[in-house]
Amino acid sequence: MQEIHHFFHSLFSLTLDFRVRLFNILALGGTVISLIMALLSLGTGSWGNVLINLVLVAVSGGLFLYSYYSEKYQRCYLITIVMIFLIVFPVMFFTSGGYHGGMPAFFVFAIIFTVLMLEKRRALIVSLLEIVLYIGLCLVAYHFPHIVTPFATEVDRLADILLAFVSVSTVCGIVLYFHLKEYNQQQLLLEEQNRRLRSLDNAKSTFLTTVAHEIKNPLSSISLHARDTSELLEEEPLDFSLMQENLRTIEQSVMRIDRIVLDLMDTVSIEQGRLALSLVPSDLGALLHSVEKDFSSHPSSGNNQLVLTIQSDLPEISADPERLIQVITNLISNADRHTQNGTITISLTGEPGWQTICVSDTGTGMSEEMRKNALKGYVSADKDYWRHGIGLYVCHQIITAHGGKIWLKSQEGEGTQVFFSLPEEES
């Protein structure tokens, strides 16, 4: 039973082209209808109609099986139109009471399916040909009634008309149902895509505005302190301490711009699948000492203290040290930016098969929604998300490329902890 359900589902799956589903309905419906009409003709003793309908059963069933296994649907469309609509239907018209029976309903059925199955000019030409042919058949039957096989009784005539009406109505109704169902689904899909496009367009505008703002701030700082230094050079005596402070501020601003640009470049590389690693044996403890030394050589923008705790006797791991320094520097930069007069702690611990680094701070922390989305892509209408998120997104991709994992814990007003673990064996 399940196999039968799967078989019929495959015939009318929305993944199939609409014309393919239409042909499947036509072939199955034609086979069933022809079989019923053959049985009715058998009851009335009309052996000619029995033979014609049995031929229709064979043709419809054969076309269905041929199309199902060969998938040559265009060829089957043309065979159906030529053999059934243009040859068999006219023969049945004269053997089934002419225009006094149900065949005119099948003529309408044939024209509708021709228009739906063929494309553009071919559909127009063939459907017009069918209309002319069917009108001609009715005129011939009117002027030469003796060539039309009449119904034996009025009951037979009524049965033929009702069967044609029910058959054509049912098949056309099924086709219309599938067509409208597909149309509604496409409308919903289109609305969803339009909504996403609008959201992405708004996010892009906000993102570009935010990037410009993020770069504008350090540029303004550079301009201000450079101008101040220029004015100090014109004063007597020269205040070297103030000039050095200005230069340190300029250096910090340049480094901030450099990190922003580097994050943007890495984001593009990640999305294009071009993030490359140069794996070498690396000592994470020595790497953290290097980062601490670099941080200590520049004053903290938030006046924060950096604390380093490292578990001893950990083995080297296969990693890209430059990329890991980028990750750790990014995490420290985030922590320093969102912490004032606090403590930033970097810890390195080991467990079987893994080494874990944690960068924690005592700063402002993140909201629950921000925490859930911080490691995802940078497209967001939330300006704060960009400040937190683009660097964390890049960190996430770098750690994942190493075969590691990264996660964070944070609460608003209680600081943030970012963890990442790297395998001791090359992944």
What band does 387 get if pLDDT is binned at 50, 70 and 90? very low
Give the pLDDT of residue 381.
Answer: 37
Q: Is residue 178 part of a domain?
A: no
Tell me which of 272, 291, 323 is where a domain ends: 272
- Could you count the other beta carbons within 10 Å of the beta carbon of residue 42? 14
Alpha-carbon distance of 44 to 339, in angstroms, equals: 95
Q: What is the full DSSP assignment across 207-250?
A: HHHHHHHHHHHHHHHHHHHHHHHHHHHTSSS--HHHHHHHHHHH
Contact 110/33 with Cβ under 8 angstroms?
no
Residue type for 334, please?
N
d(CA 43, CA 38): 9
CA atoms within 13 A on the CB side of 307: 9
- The predicted-structure confidence for 191-246, as pLDDT tens digits, reads as follows 999 988 887 777 677 667 767 766 777 788 888 888 888 888 887 787 788 888 88
Total number of domains in the chain: 3
Residue 156 domain flag: no
- Whether 187 is covered by a domain: the verdict is no
The answer to the question of residue 191 being in a domain is no
Q: Which domain-ending residue is among 87, 119, 150?
A: 150
* CA dist 142 → 92, 107, 146, 151, 292 (Å): 16, 17, 9, 16, 102
The pTM of this model reads 0.49
**In a shared domain, residues 325 and 355:** yes
Query: Is-contact 406 343, C-beta < 8 A?
Result: no
CATH code at position 411: 3.30.565.10
For the chain, state the CA radius of gyration.
Answer: 39
Assess whether 229 and 346 both reside in one domain: no
Same domain, 238 and 302: no
Which pLDDT score is estimated for 144?
93
- Structure confidence at residue 384 as a pLDDT band (50, 70, 90): very low
233 and 116 inside one domain: no
Residue 264 sits in the same domain as residue 382: no
Helices (H) and strands (E) in the chain, counts: 13, 7
> Are 311 and 349 a contacting pair, CB within 8 Å?
yes
User: How much is the pLDDT for 84?
Assistant: 82
**Residues 289-299 pLDDT 10s:** 988 888 877 76
Examine residue 150 and say whether the peptide bond preceding it is cis (omega within 30 degrees of 0).
Answer: no
The residue type found at 105 is A
Give the chain's end-to-end CA distance (angstroms, integer). 46
CATH number for 210: 1.10.287.130
Same domain for 266 and 401? no
User: What span, in angstroms and rounded, lies between the C-alpha atoms of 336 and 397?
Assistant: 22
Does 182 map to a domain?
Answer: no
Residues 253 and 327 in one domain: no
Whether residue 323 sits in one domain with residue 260: no
Q: Identify the band that residue 382 occupies on the pLDDT scale cut at 50, 70 and 90.
A: very low
Per DSSP, what are the bridge partners of residue 418?
359, 408
Q: Are strands 354-361 and 405-411 parallel, antiparallel or unpaired?
A: unpaired
Domain that holds residue 8: 1-150
Is the residue at 185 inside a domain? no
Examine residue 206 and state whether it is found in any structural domain, yes or no: yes
Q: In terms of domains, do 3 and 97 share one?
A: yes
Q: What is the pLDDT of residue 44?
A: 61
**Domain co-membership, 18 together with 140:** yes
User: Does residue 89 share a domain with residue 206?
Assistant: no
Mean pLDDT (the chain) is 81
133 part of a folded domain: yes
Q: What is the pLDDT of residue 7?
A: 56
Residue 125 sits in the same domain as residue 58: yes
Please say which residue of 238, 254, 272 terminates a domain: 272
